[in-house]
Amino acid sequence: MTIIIDNAANWRDIARVGDGEKLELAPAAWDRIAHANRIVASLVEKGIRAYGVNTGVGALASQVVAPAMQEKLSRNIILSHACGVGELAPERGIRAIIAVQVANFAHGHSGVRPEIVRNLLTFLERGCIPEVPSRGSAGYLTHNAHIALVLIGEGMARVAGRRMNGRQALAEIGLEPLVLGAKEGLSLVNGTACATGLTSIALVRAERLLCWADAAAALTLEAAGGQMAAFDEHVLAMRPSPGIEAVGTSLRRLLDGSGLIAAAQGSRTQDALSLRAVPHVHGAAREVLERSALLVDRELASVTDNPAVSGTIDDPKVFSQAHPVAPALGQTADSLTIALAQVAAMSERRTDRLVNPLVNNLPPFLAAEGGCNSGFMIAQYTATSLSNVNRRLAAPAATDGGVTSGLQEDFLAHPTVAANKLLAVIDNAEYILAIELMAAAQAHDFLSDRAARAPGTDAIYRAIRQRVAHYSDDRPLSWDMERLRDFIREADVGQ
C-alpha cells in the first residue's frame, strides 16, 4: 500500500509508513513545496531579514549572515545541532519522523527545495535509516539533525541492515550529498516531526495494548469467578462514558456463555476493584487515546517550523512565530502515559489475585507442586517492578520547563521526552499484560474440570497455549514472557 499525502496526513498514515509502507506526495503538494522555495529565494534576493535564512539562530538571531555564508550557515546548523546521545531510536520511529517531516514540508510554508523532500522519500523507499540517538532532544532539534546529517553525506546510517557512513549510504541508494541552501538547514532541524512521529507509533501500540488489556481482564475475571452484574449494560449506563460502555461491551462479549462465570454467580457480594473497575480504568484510557489521536492529527495538519513563509515572489512574506513549540503534544503524551500506567498497574493487581492463596481457591502461586515449585511467585514480582517503573515514568515531562540558548528559548514543552516516556511505559505494560495472560492461562489449567470457558476467552487461552506451555518450574519463565510479549505486541486479539 502507498500512502499519498495531499493536504494533510493522519496518524495512521504516519504509523503505516513507520511500519514500512511507501510514501508519496500528490502533485499539489509538490507545487506548494516548490513555491515556498521560490519565496525563500526572493527573500534572499531582496535582502529581507528572516530568522535562520540570513540571520543566526537561537540567541544569535540578531546577527546577520551575508549571502555568501548562507550555505555554510545551513550546514553548520545541522552539524552543531546533532547532539543526541544514548541508544539509537528504532527504525520504526525514524521512518515515522521522516514521514512527518515530509508532511510538514508539503504544507508549503517551509521553503526547502523539492530535491530535499525527494531524497527523504528515497530514504524511506530504499530503506536508508539514519542512526539517531534517542536522547537529548528538549523539543525536536537533535533527532532531526541526525537525520539531516545523512542528507549532506555525514553521520551514519543503515541500508538493508548494513552500517555505513552517510556518504556511503547515499551512494548505496543512488544519491549525492546535498549542499543546503538558505533556510534549509533550519527547516530540517525545526518543527515537531520527532514528537509527532513517535507519538503516532505510540498510538498504534496503545490501541492494540488496550484490546489485549480487555482480553487479559476477561480471562482473569473468568478464572477468579467474577461477578458479571457489575458489567451489566444498564448498570454501566448509569455512569455515561463511551470508554466504559465500550469496555463493558467487550467484557460481556468475551465472557458470554462462560460456565465458570455461571457457576460463580452470587458467590460474592462484589469483587475487588481490580476486577470490578476494569471498565472504568480501561475505558478512561480509551478516551484519552481517542483525544490523543485527534490532537496528533491536528498537529499533522499544522505548519510546525519557524519561520513560515508565504506570499508571492514579488511580495514574499516571512513570519517568526512559535509553531515548533508543542505543549499540547507533550501534554497529550503525558496524559496517555498516565492512563496506560494505570491500566498496567491494574493488570499487576489482577495477577496478584491469581497467584495469591489468600484471595483465591487456586494452588498457591499457580504452582504445580506446592513447596518444591514456586510457580508464578516471582513473575508477579517482575510485574510489580515494571509497574513501579511506570509510576515514575508517568510523572509529566511537559511541566519540567528549562532555559536554553542564552535566555532566548526560556520555555520548553518537552514533547519528545514525553513521547519517549510514553513508548517506555508501553514497553513495560506489554510485559505486564503478558505476565497476566500467562498466569490466567495457568489458572485455567487448574479449572479445566470445573466448567467450560466462554468461546471468547477460550480463543484467547488457546492463542496463549500455542505459544507458551503450562508451567511446571521446568524452564526460565523469562523466555515465556518474551515470547508472549512479542506476540501481543504484533498481533491483534483474535489472531
Quote the pLDDT of residue 8. 87
Q: At residue 32, what is the residue type?
A: R
Q: What DSSP string describes 350-377?
A: HHHHHH-TTS-SSPGGG-SSBTTB-TTH
CA distances from 202 to 20, 136, 168, 291, 389 (A): 16, 19, 32, 14, 18
φ/ψ (deg, to 5) at 212: -70, -30
DSSP letter assigned to residue 470: P
Task: Encode pLDDT of 118-171 as tens digits.
Answer: 999 999 999 999 999 998 787 678 999 999 999 999 999 999 999 999 999 999
462 Rama sector, left if φ>0, alpha if ψ -120 to 50, beta otherwise: alpha
- pTM here is 0.95
Quote the pLDDT of residue 89. 95
Q: Contact 216/433 with Cβ under 8 angstroms?
A: yes
Quote the pLDDT of residue 141. 83
Quote the pLDDT of residue 60. 65
Task: Encode pLDDT of 20-37 as tens digits.
Answer: 999 999 999 999 999 999
DSSP letter assigned to residue 469: P
Exposure string over 140-161, b if 16+ CB within 10 A, otherwise e: bbbbbbbbbbbbbbbbbbbbee
Which of helix, strand or coil describes residue 52? coil
Quote the pLDDT of residue 168. 98
**Domains plus CATH for the chain?**
2-190 (1.10.275.10), 199-490 (1.20.200.10)
Q: Contact 353/457 with Cβ under 8 angstroms?
A: no
H or E stretch including 73? helix 70-81
Residue 46 CB neighbour total at 10 angstroms:
11
Q: Give the span between the Cα atoms of 396 and 399, in whole angstroms.
A: 6
Quote the pLDDT of residue 6. 93
Report residues of the chain scoring pLDDT below 50: none
